[in-house]
Chains A and B, each alone.
Chain A
Amino acid sequence: DQQVKQNSPSLSVQEGRISILNCDYTNSMFDYFLWYKKYPAEGPTFLISISSIKDKNEDGRFTVFLNKSAKHLSLHIVPSQPGDSAVYFCAASPEYGNKLVFGAGTILRVKS
């Protein structure tokens, strides 16, 4: 049972344009959501998070939007840079700091 789904295995974007990565979840008990970025042969690096009491959180070029009614969140990267090329994982947690549930990841390629 995939509780967190990233339906796009890959995304290709031109440098300078917006990258939008999507994530859907099914468990209504999730109340905290995170995005991680991962390069090959490295561990995931935390990017940005959002609590279920908010619908938007912004940090520099990264913005996460949460639509609780649709059980959907998205990560926007503006402007996209070649160094953003990596695998992006969406993760959700039902309570603080415990047992993150990850999506399968989306490979982002930013072309220069």
Chain B
Amino acid sequence: NSKVIQTPRYLVKGQGQKAKMRCIPEKGHPVVFWYQQNKNNEFKFLINFQNQEVLQQIDMTEKRFSAECPSNSPCSLEIQSSEAGDSALYLCASSLTGGTTEVFFGKGTRLTVV
């Protein structure tokens, strides 16, 4: 069973509202990922961190999305001004460092923008 904890499981926001979701990675895992899974099952990589530092992020993340992984606090992903197209399952995952390590996923936060 995955030890990556995501909250909340469900989030409903109006267009233009902020939407914030949190993730506690598995203990000891310094690498954290955020993915967006849309209704067509497409996975879109958003951003990842190693400890508190951003490894890579996509353009979408750089504009309306913000994310952080502070030390000793949950990681978070926030959409500054939600749009209908942001409705999706947001998955957080964590792993050890190293190219051959496994990636473990949380259950996700399902965001609905009405």
Chain B associates with chain A = no
